[in-house]
Amino acid sequence: MPPKMIFLAGAPTYHSLSWDESKLQSDFTEPFIQFLHLPHPYPNSAPRNSNTSVVEFSIAQNPEWRELPLERKHLTTGASQDHAFQPLYGGHPLDFFSATTFLSQSQGYSQSLSNLDSYISVGDENYGDQEVDGVLSQFYEHSYAIHDIPSSQITSSDFDSTSYSTSGYDSQSLFPQSGQNEQVPVAGYLTNLKDMPNAQHLSSIVPQTMTVNLIVGIISISEPRAISTRQGGNVSLIEILVGDETKSGFSINFWLSGKGKEEVKEVLENLRVQDIVLMKNVALGSFRGKVHGQSLRKDMTKAWLMYREKIDRSDVGGCYGKRDLAKEIDVQVAKVKRVRDWVVSFVGVATTNKRGVKRVREELPPDTQ
């Protein structure tokens, strides 16, 4: 029995069908001739209609090849991350604002002002005419005002003074050395990033400020930025970009001010990409219709290193190890495990060439196929 070839071209509409013999095709059309590699012109082939456009299929003699590396390379923060493009798409009821992402997009898309307008505007066409420096100045002023609010305006279902660290940051308790049996902090009620309240809700409860507890993985840590306040003081700002298995691209601004700023800076500098951290009492704010997080004054916002992929035995670990995550004894451990699995799959780290390992060069196929 000779082989048969079936073309699945989709079902036509009923009113477009015509059974007139004079209008039926007597042979293959041009696209089928090229697909079947038939001689051109094919005998008795259907003539081209000058009134209709025919798609021309050009077969390149020498196809262009591109190299796709097998190992995932580290993606720097900003427009190169998937979450950086997420606000540009429509239909996202919960978007996050990040100064790092905003800077990267404004620098990388100077030729496309429409993309920048869609990112920083919320139904107001005048927002796109503002300069980048002006938008960032407004954001820093807005963020620092939330950081400096009195504790009486803070609302949270789990805000209390009970903690396993001192009133300030203690790097020994937040980053226990290997072999130390430190007491694991209790997170209380945990919030997934996808379950964050939207900007409209946060604006409706002003002057109150909502706080949440998060277990997240670190995507990037920005360098400290020097900010001058209206009172004439100088403070530093460190932005940490985090994500979990439900959503990514959430930024947390840590303002380094007050007596314990050096301790806070030391703790943040000890963190690195792919670390799983517990952050308690993270204040939520809204800017330009987008949600962001940040620290509160008087060390109300605290962070603990929950899990870390160690480089060697002397490397500092977290509160949990691989054996602890394999047990999943409670909700907190299960959350750390899910975030760890997400971080390993989607957050890259900078890799260094190991000594004695020869780099394999991938050869592209010849341009004759």
Write out pLDDT tens, residues 52-87: 444 444 455 556 666 666 665 555 544 444 444 444
**Amino acid 307: pLDDT:** 93
| C-alpha–C-alpha distance, residues 251 and 222, integer Å | 10
245 Cβ contact partners less than 8 Å away, ≥ 6 residues apart: 338, 339, 341, 342
Confidence tier at 151 by pLDDT (50, 70, 90): low
Instruction: Report if pTM > 0.85.
Output: no
| Higher per-residue pLDDT: 357 or 332 | 332
Question: How long is the chain?
Answer: 369
* 11 lies in some domain: no
Mean pLDDT, residues 294-313 taken together? 87
The answer, yes or no, to whether residue 293 has pLDDT greater than 60, is yes
**Amino acid 235: pLDDT:** 86
| C-alpha–C-alpha distance, residues 82 and 11, integer Å | 37
* 260 lies in some domain: yes
| One domain, residues 43 and 148 | no
What phi and psi, each to the nearest 5 degrees, are found at residue 333? Answer: -65, -40
Q: What is the pLDDT of residues 26-53, one digit of tens each?
A: 777 777 777 777 776 666 555 555 444 4
Average pLDDT in the chain: 72
- Specify which residues 221 forms β-bridges with: 240
Beta carbons within 10 angstroms of residue 116's beta carbon: 20
| One domain, residues 55 and 86 | no
Q: What angle is formed at CA 77 by the lines to CA 112 and CA 95, rounded to 5 degrees? A: 70
How far CA 166 is from CA of 54, 163, 169, 172, 298, in Å, comes to: 75, 7, 7, 11, 12
Q: How many domains does the chain have?
A: 2
The two tokens of residue 156 are 């949270």
| One domain, residues 40 and 120 | no
Q: What is the pLDDT of residues 191-242, one digit of tens each?
A: 999 999 999 999 998 888 899 999 999 999 988 888 887 776 788 889 999 9
* 294 lies in some domain: yes
| One domain, residues 333 and 200 | yes
The two tokens of residue 199 are 């900007």
- How many CA atoms does the CB half-sphere of 117 hold within 13 Å? 11
| One domain, residues 41 and 106 | no
- Specify which residues 280 forms β-bridges with: 302
Confidence tier at 332 by pLDDT (50, 70, 90): very high
Q: Reduced to 3 DSSP states, what percent helix, strand and coil does the chain have, rounded to the nearest 5?
A: 30, 15, 55
* 7 lies in some domain: no
| One domain, residues 50 and 198 | no
| One domain, residues 253 and 296 | yes
* 308 lies in some domain: yes
| One domain, residues 162 and 212 | yes
For residue 130, give the CATH number of its domain.
Answer: 2.40.50.140
| C-alpha–C-alpha distance, residues 50 and 343, integer Å | 57
One-letter amino acid for residue 221 of the chain: I
Alpha-carbon torsion, ordered 276, 280, 283, 289, to 10 deg: 40
The answer, yes or no, to whether residue 170 has pLDDT greater than 50, is no
* 353 lies in some domain: no
How far CA 316 is from CA of 35, 121, 265, 270, 366, in Å, comes to: 61, 43, 17, 9, 48
